[in-house]
Amino acid sequence: MSVSSGARGVGGDGADGPTRRRRSPSPVLLLISPSVIFMLLLFAWPMVSGILQAFQTPGGYGLENITRMVTDPQFVPAVRNTVLLIIVLLPLQFALALVMAFLLQAKPKLQGLHFYIWAVPIAVSDLAAGLVWLSIFTDRGFLNSALNHVGVGPILWLSYQKPVLEFATIICAEVWRATSLVMVIIVSGMQGIPKDYDEAASVFGAGFWDRLRYVWLPLLRPSMQVALILRTILAFQTFAVAQALTGLNFPLLVGETYRFYTQLQNPNVAAALALVVMLVSMAFAFLYLRLLRDDTNQAAR
């Protein structure tokens, strides 16, 4: 009796101990639970609701909203303008951001002041940036006033009859507004590169372009990957600057989402447009992760 009681006692202690340990909340779970709850409430649930709303019809679920979106006369121009904006904008911004980052890397006089001046556009909202550039490019704006003094113009920069000039003004405003974001990411990536690599390449006679190609750009790949994903997603969301400069003359996908939701009072088609933007953004992010992945660690294993 006593033995069996002891066995039960020992077995009971041995069984209860792990049970109590399993039931106690893990510190890791406690630490990540706020982030998980945050993502579920503010990302997963709105995303699922938006996807359901995109296919929701008066009779249940179907493709009517997708058909309405595709057959809208503004849909094709909006897709074309959005893609064209990204194709032209991203290479320009990355080239300028690299130049700015290397100029800062050379440690000129007043380096900190240069950095803060170049980073100022990050603090300016999209709509405010659009209004600033509207005051420059409008028919009686600062640029035409300056051109009048030298006997040129006025030039109708924002006329719908001159789509090339209209597109150039949007590119100019977007380059000013968002290049600094890419620059900050690249500069932060440069801080993690040991100077030994660059010095060693210089000792072996590598010029600037060789060091850029074989030292800096490969080591900046993780930062470039982050900047590309972030900037592409934000480029798909470009709306306020184009809206402030051109109104509805230059339709974009996000602008069409806004138009369907506010003017046409059709949130289902707006959700379908938002779904297109989300899927294309995710496709580009996946493509960047595949193209710019670093296989060095896998090869070393």
Average pLDDT over residues 30-47: 87
Tell me which of 1-15, 100-114, 198-212 is least confident: 1-15
Q: What is the pLDDT of residues 40-88, one digit of tens each?
A: 888 888 889 889 988 988 888 888 889 998 998 888 988 888 888 888 9
In order of 43, 50, 65, 153, the CA distances from 275 in angstroms are 14, 7, 11, 43
Q: Contact at 8 Å (CB) between 254 and 237?
A: yes
Tell me which of 25-29, 51-55, 184-188 is least confident: 25-29
Average pLDDT over residues 155-163: 80
**pLDDT recorded at residue 5:** 45
Angle at 254 between CA 293 and CA 266, to 5 degrees: 135
- 2, pLDDT greater than 80: no
The pTM (predicted TM-score) of the whole model is 0.75
